[in-house]
Amino acid sequence: MKRVSLVAVALLFAAFLAVSAQAQTPTTGDKIGLIAWGAFEDPTKGIKKYVAAINSLETEFKPVNDELKTMAAKYEALGKEIQGLRELKDSGKPVPVSDAEIQKKIDTLGQLERDIKKKQEDAKATYQSRFNVVVGPIQDDIIKALSDYATAKGYAVILDGARLQEAQILLGFNQKANVTEDFILFYNSRPATAAVTKP
């Protein structure tokens, strides 16, 4: 009789421990996942649709970027030329151009600087507008897919770990929580739901 009672007590104690452990262990829906959004732009390992959209924007804005580079090179060369003329003048050596011509070059340099700034501001505004049109729908689709992924994989929440680290909010984490690669595979295997918008 004593033996039966001991077995019953042992079973009851084991059941109590199992329930207690289950109460302390997070359930599947309590998991937190971390992603690094910047990895989505990786040309070889990133989200294909996202990379294609970014590349299409770079192609679209290449003429403006090339023009800005040309203007910047011209500005730098003219600035060096003016500096050289000033140094010649300060040293008392003969200067190959008149003061009026030097001033004209200085005026041209000032105008070029203003043109560069204006073109940069215009390009930035246009780029942001085009980014919203071309990449915006894909970003929205990625965010929707993150919710689908969280539901499918049992995550309560998925956070951008890289941004949290930059803000010094996330100070340390288990690498197992990083689901970036798995999510990219998940996303790339889905049927296309947001096409890249063309101009």
What's the per-residue H, E or C state across 99-122? HHHHHHHHHHHHHHHHHHHHHHHH
Q: Is the pLDDT of residue 196 over 80?
A: no
Instruction: Give me the number of domains the chain comprises.
Output: 1
pLDDT confidence of 79, banded at 50, 70, 90?
A: very high
Task: Tell me, yes or no, whether 199 lies in a domain.
Answer: no
Distance CA 43, CA 39 (A): 9
Task: Tell me, yes or no, whether 169 lies in a domain.
Answer: yes
Place of tokens 């918008």: 197
Task: Tell me, yes or no, whether 153 lies in a domain.
Answer: yes
Q: Is the pLDDT of residue 160 over 70?
A: yes
Are the beta carbons of 88 and 98 closer than 8 angstroms?
Answer: no
Supply 164's token pair: 């949290």
What is the number of other CB atoms lying within 10 angstroms of the CB of residue 74? Answer: 14
Task: Tell me, yes or no, whether 198 lies in a domain.
Answer: no
Residue 53 or residue 90, greater confidence: 53
Closest CA to 115 of 64, 77, 80: 64
Q: Is the pLDDT of residue 184 over 80?
A: yes
Residue 178 confidence (pLDDT)? 86
* 13: containing domain: 2-188
Q: Could you report how far apart the first and last alpha carbons of the chain are, in Å?
A: 86
Residue 18 confidence (pLDDT)? 38
